[in-house]
Amino acid sequence: MAMIQQQVMTNQPSVVVTSAFEPGREMWSSSLCNCCDDMEICCLGFWCPCVLPCRVSADHGEGLCLPLLECWSGVVPAVSLGLRISVRERYRIRGSICDDCCIVTFCGICSYCQLARELKERRCRHTQVISSTTVQVLCICGLKVRGNTGCAECVVQAMAMIQQQVMTNQPSVVVTSAFEPGREMWSSGLFSCCDDMGICCLGYCFPWALACQVSADHGESRCLPLLECWSGIVPAVALGLRISVRERYRIKGSICEDCCIVTFCGICSYCQLARELKERRCRHTQVISSTTVQVTSNPPAYYPVQGYGPPQ
């Protein structure tokens, strides 16, 4: 029985965490109202609020003109919400889509300043400043070469070693594009509704119920899609959910593509999200069909219990 229990525990499916508050997530490097941490970004957001969103979008690997789509948003700015969710999910920062909706609606400029500081901090966090590089090479004639002094052969060898050391000490690259190598594709296409007829029928007959189900399956509030009534042409909540799923599971795409998909193919987008979340839950599940344990009747070689011993 112990062996059966051990085998069952070994074959348990891997847990797919869908909440944005699971252990291991970080906090923002600066709070929402810490504008004085970087006065340059603060002044740019105060005097040129239209320039700062474009800068944040470009620094995040998106289109420079992406914030111009904000003119088709409603009360909840869809592009600002999408950028904030994308940064938060890509760098595994704690939060929720509901919190992001409130922040970008009532504190839009402060949100962009926080995003700019976060992206700047991510670029500089692992940077190693090489103050000086000294390479000593033992020359054939017995002299030590420092920098660029010595015979010609030793100078060439020293410069090669300096270049190798500089390349070795380069700061780690922070990839900000959603198309870098290692990202996956969606498990099903946007119009692959026949892959799961149950989800397709639910989205066709009860689209609001499907949206609430996707939100709950993703670890967000079930009533989150009700905020869609304050959206404009670009549905902010649908865009936020799609970006959150894509960034959390490292799926290829961009915010501009997501804007077009949720605007013109909203129901198909929700169906694709539902199939993706269902696939993520079932991908690593191992079904234990049968467990056979063979127990021999031979007595053990020794008896560890005190007072007992091998048969005479």
Least confident of 74-83, 158-167, 263-272: 158-167
**Residue-by-residue DSSP string for 37-60:** G-HHHHHHHHH-TTHHHHHHHHHT
Domain residue ranges of the chain, discontinuous segments joined by +? 35-126+177-282, 136-168
Residue type, 309: G
Choose among 23, 21, 11, 170: nearest CA to 88: 21
* Chain mean pLDDT for the chain: 78
Q: Residue 72 and residue 53: Cα distance in Å, rounded?
A: 16
Dihedral sign, Cα of residue 138, residue 140, residue 141, residue 147: negative
Residues forming a β-bridge with 251: 184
Global confidence as pTM: 0.72
pLDDT in tens, 155-208: 556 556 655 654 554 444 344 555 566 789 999 999 998 899 999 999 999 999
pLDDT in tens, 83-105: 999 999 999 999 999 999 999 99
Look at residue 284 and tell me whether its pLDDT is greater than 60.
no
